[in-house]
Amino acid sequence: MGLKRPVAFIALVFPVVVACHEDNTLGLADSDRPVFTATLSGANVRPVPVATTTTATAQMSIRDPEVGQIGRQLTYAIVGTNLTTATSAHIHLGGASVGVGPVLVTLYTNTADTALTSATLVTGSVPESAFSGFSLDSLVKLMSVGAAYVDIHATGNPLGLVRGQVTKKGEEPALDLFAAPSLSGNKERPTPVVTAATGSATFELLSNSTVRYKVNVAGLTGATMAHIHTGVADSAGPIAVTLFTSSTPTGPLTGTLASGTFSGANIQLPGVSFDSLLSLMRSGRTYVNVHTDANKNGEIRAQIEPVTVLPK
């Protein structure tokens, strides 16, 4: 992906203790233990979905130490459907829109990519003592707030064959989240703008056809329009979606300039579908631009980035 969001965590690959156990041995079937699940499909792969009939489910649990054991364990199992190839499987750091998040835990490796003969790809456990520099409690928090995902890689799909966001068992996973976190005049192109105004924008995929948005500003005077444009950080691109328009300049304003939803029907750029726009947003090739009466080409702007939800 062209734009990578910095993260405050070190990418660690942990050794895995793999053994074939029944669910009750792994602690996955015990109702009093925290259980997390992920439903993996090609449609969930980012930044570009994969067309495949392969699916998989992953289940993870935190198992308390038993007599004679020291420390807790992360136990897990991955079961596939139409899964014939896999080189690795991981838990990654990242929200649903993040393209390639850092690896947190390696669950499976098969560098030779030998043929799979069982629906169960892997079962195993990782002892708490293996989490050097990254605690098991931190992993649990990430999985609880929608900031971790499981994916399976294959030779033909090194960035991921199938993927799914981790959630608490029984909860629906969050969909793609995006933000233009720091709108400012010095990001305007081709010519930066000197202004004290600032702002931010957030976007949330509600379904396969609708995005909810909010644009906030501070110290902005005379707002006339706000759009999503296509383009990288150092270019000025065409309008894709109108987020705000007013025939009477609005402001001075500190607060919400615009909020609402948009769908594919609101895309103004010929040849760009809803899915194509999402792909551009996932790869950092769109930006928010707020126009004013004084700066008709745009007063404040920022690139739209995939969001990784981090625990507070």
Q: What mean pLDDT, rounded, does the chain reach?
A: 88
pLDDT digits (tens, 9 = 90+) for 223-244: 999 999 999 999 999 999 999 9
The amino acid sitting at 47 is P
Which residue did the predictor score with more confidence, 80 or 32? 80
Q: How long, in residues, is the chain?
A: 312
pLDDT digits (tens, 9 = 90+) for 293-309: 999 999 999 999 998 76
With cut-offs at 50, 70 and 90, classify the pLDDT of residue 127: very high
pLDDT value of residue 65:
81
pLDDT digits (tens, 9 = 90+) for 138-189: 999 999 988 999 999 999 999 999 999 999 999 988 889 999 999 999 999 9
pLDDT value of residue 28:
54
For residue 29, list its beta bridge partners: none
Most confident of 3-12, 15-24, 123-132, 221-230: 221-230
Contact partners, residue 22, CB within 8 Å, separation at least 6: none
The domains of the chain are located at 17-168, 177-306
Are 135 and 142 contacting, i.e. CB atoms less than 8 angstroms apart? no
The amino acid sitting at 177 is L
Position 93 pLDDT exceeds 80: yes
Residue 151 to residue 157: CA distance in whole angstroms: 11
Domain 177-306: top CATH class: mainly beta
pLDDT value of residue 20:
39
pLDDT value of residue 23:
45
pLDDT value of residue 26:
55
pLDDT value of residue 133:
73
With cut-offs at 50, 70 and 90, classify the pLDDT of residue 207: confident
Residue 163 to residue 165: CA distance in whole angstroms: 7
* DSSP for the chain, written as a single string: -------SS-------EE----HHHHTTT-TTS-EEEEEEEGGG-SSS----S-EEEEEEEEEPP-TT--S-EEEEEEEEES----SEEEEEE--TT-SSPPEEEEEEE-TT-PPP-SSEEEEEEEEGGG-SSS-HHHHHHHHHTT-EEEEEEETTEEEEEEEEE-EETTSPPP--EEEEEEEBGGG-SSS----S-EEEEEEEE-SSSEEEEEEEEEEE-SEEEEEEEE--TTS---EEEEEEEEEEEE-SEEEEEEEEEEEGGG--STT--HHHHHHHHHTT-EEEEEEESS-TT-SEEEE-EE------
Mean pLDDT, residues 61-70: 80
pLDDT value of residue 1:
40
Lowest mean pLDDT among 45-49, 68-72, 191-195, 227-231: 68-72
pLDDT digits (tens, 9 = 90+) for 242-278: 999 999 999 899 999 999 999 999 999 999 999 999 9
Residue 8 to residue 71: CA distance in whole angstroms: 26
Structure tokens at 116: 């799979």
